[in-house]
C-alpha cells in the first residue's frame, strides 16, 4: 500500500539535523566534564541504528541485492584491492609515528558497514545492495586487517591489535540487528502490533543517526581537541583519502557497467570508513598508543563533513542518464517498490 503523506521533517532536512547533532556534540563534549563517559554507549546506540537501517530494507529486496554479483565483486575489489594501495601511499607520511600510523591503518583499511547505508540512500544510491554487501565487507576486514597491518606496520603492530573486539562488533552490530530485523519483518506479516513497531522504528532512523553522531563525537571531542597539535598530521591524509576515492569509485563503477544507483553506492562504499566499529579496537590498545583512538575519531569528524558534501556532489558526478529498472532508493535508505 502506498502513501501520499509527506516525509517527516527530520527526513526532509537530514543534513541540517546531522550538522546540528555534530555542533551540539562538539559543544557538550568540550564543555561538559563528564562527556567522555558516553563512550560505552556508542556500541548499543550504533546497534540500534543498524537495526532500524536493516529493518527499512525488505529482506526480499535484500535477497535480490545479494544476487547482484557484479556490484558485490566491484565493492570488494575497491575495498580490498584498491583501497590498501591508496592507504599504503598515504600512511607513509606518518610511518615514523606508531600511534598515528596504527590509527590511520585501522580506520582507512576498514570499509564502513553502518551509516554509509543512510548516506548512500540520501544521495539516491542503492542502499539495499550496499546493505547486502555489509556482512561480506565486515568479514573481509576482520580476515584481512591483520595481514595489512603486518605489511604496512610490521609484526609488532599486529601483536598489539586484539581481534576480540572486532568479533564482538560483528556479532553486536551485524548479526544481532540483522536477526532482530528479520524477526520483526516476519512478525509484521501476521501482527498489527509488529507492523506498528516496525513503522515507528524505521521512521526514527534520522533521529537515531543524529543520536549516534552525538554520542560518538561528544564522548571523544575533548580528547581530540587536547591532542590537536599531534593529530593535525592525519587530517590531510583523511582529506586526501576522500579526494582520491571519489573518482576511483566513479571510474570503477563505469568500468564494470553498474547502473546509476549501484554506481553511487560503490562510490560511498569506497569512500566511507568503519570508524565507529574500529574505535573499540583502538580503545583496547596499550596506554602508549593512547593517541590512536583520537586518530580514529578525527577521521570520523573529517568524513562526516565529507559526507555532507558528497551527498550533493555524487549525484552530479553520477547523474541520472536513464530510468532505473530495479527499484528506487529513497533519501532515508529505503528501497521503494517498482513503479
What distance in Å separates the CA atoms of residue 89 and residue 71, rounded to the nearest whole number? 26
pLDDT digits 0-9 by tens, 46-89? 888 888 877 877 776 666 767 788 999 999 999 999 999 999 99
Residues 6+ apart with CB under 8 A from 55: 181, 184, 185, 198, 201, 202
d(CA 338, CA 247): 30
Average pLDDT of the chain is: 84
270: nearest Cα among 161, 119, 89, 66: 119
Give the tens place of pLDDT for each residue, 213-246. Answer: 899 888 878 888 888 888 999 999 999 999 999 9
What 168-175 contacts at long range (C-beta under 8 Å, 24+ apart), as own/partner pairs, is: 168/280, 169/43, 169/277, 169/280, 170/138, 170/139, 170/142, 172/43, 172/47, 173/43, 173/46, 173/47, 173/50, 173/113, 173/114, 173/277, 174/50, 174/113, 174/134, 174/135, 174/138
Cα distance between residue 251 and residue 231, in whole Å: 32
Residue 117: which H helix or E strand, with range? helix 115-122
**Grid coordinates representing 220?**
571523544
Euclidean distance between CA atoms 233 and 122, whole angstroms? 31
As a whole number of angstroms, the distance between CA 137 and CA 80 comes to 9
Q: Quick one: pLDDT band at residue 161, thresholds 50, 70, 90?
A: low
Query: Rounded to whole angstroms, how far apart are CA atoms 18 and 39?
Result: 19
Give this prediction's pTM: 0.79
Q: What is the pLDDT of residues 36-46, one digit of tens each?
A: 898 888 888 88
Amino acid at each position: 500500500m502506498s502513501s501520499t503523506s509527506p516525509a517527516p521533517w527530520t527526513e526532509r532536512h537530514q543534513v541540517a539535523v546531522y550538522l546540528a547533532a555534530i555542533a551540539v556534540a562538539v559543544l557538550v563534549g568540550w564543555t561538559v566534564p563528564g562527556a567522555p563517559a558516553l563512550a560505552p554507549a556508542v556500541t548499543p546506540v550504533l546497534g540500534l541504528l543498524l537495526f532500524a537501517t536493516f529493518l527499512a530494507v525488505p529482506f526480499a529486496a535484500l535477497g535480490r541485492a545479494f544476487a547482484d554479483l557484479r556490484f558485490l565483486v566491484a565493492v570488494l575489489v575497491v575495498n580490498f584491492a584498491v583501497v590498501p594501495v591508496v592507504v599504503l601511499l598515504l600512511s607513509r607520511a606518518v610511518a615514523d609515528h606508531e600511534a598515528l600510523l596504527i590509527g590511520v591503518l585501522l580506520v582507512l583499511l576498514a570499509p564502513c558497514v553502518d551509516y554509509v547505508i543512510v548516506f548512500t540512500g540520501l544521495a539516491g544510491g542503492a542502499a539495499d545492495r550496499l546493505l547486502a554487501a555489509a556482512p561480506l565487507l565486515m568479514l573481509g576486514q576482520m580476515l584481512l586487517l591483520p595481514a595489512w597491518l603486518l605489511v604496512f606496520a610490521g609484526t609488532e603492530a599486529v601483536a598489539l591489535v586484539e581481534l576480540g573486539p572486532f568479533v564482538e562488533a560483528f556479532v553486536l552490530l551485524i548479526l544481532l540487528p540483522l536477526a532482530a530485523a528479520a524477526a520483526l519483518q516476519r512478525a509484521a506479516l501476521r501482527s498489527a502490533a509488529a507492523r506498528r513497531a516496525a513503522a515507528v522504528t524505521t521512521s526514527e532512523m534520522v533521529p537515531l543517526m543524529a543520536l549516534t553522531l552525538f554520542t560518538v563525537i561528544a564522548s571523544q571531542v575533548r580528547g581530540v581537541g587536547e591532542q590537536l597539535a599531534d593529530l593535525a598530521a592525519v587530517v590531510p591524509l583523511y582529506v586526501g583519502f576522500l579526494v582520491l576515492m571519489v573518482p576511483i569509485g566513479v571510474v570503477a563503477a563505469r568500468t564494470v557497467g553498474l547502473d546509476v544507483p549501484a554506481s553511487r553506492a560503490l562510490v560511498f562504499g569506497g569512500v566511507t570508513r568503519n570508524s565507529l566499529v574500529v574505535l573499540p579496537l583502538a580503545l583496547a590498545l596499550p596506554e602508549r598508543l593512547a593517541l590512536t583512538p583520537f586518530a580514529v575519531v578525527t577521521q570520523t569528524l573529517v568524513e562526516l563533513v565529507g559526507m555532507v558534501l558528497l551527498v550533493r556532489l555524487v549525484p552530479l558526478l553520477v547523474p541520472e542518464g536513464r530510468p532505473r529498472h530495479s527499484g528506487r532508493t529513497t533519501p532515508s535508505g529505503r528501497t521503494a517498490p517498482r513503479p
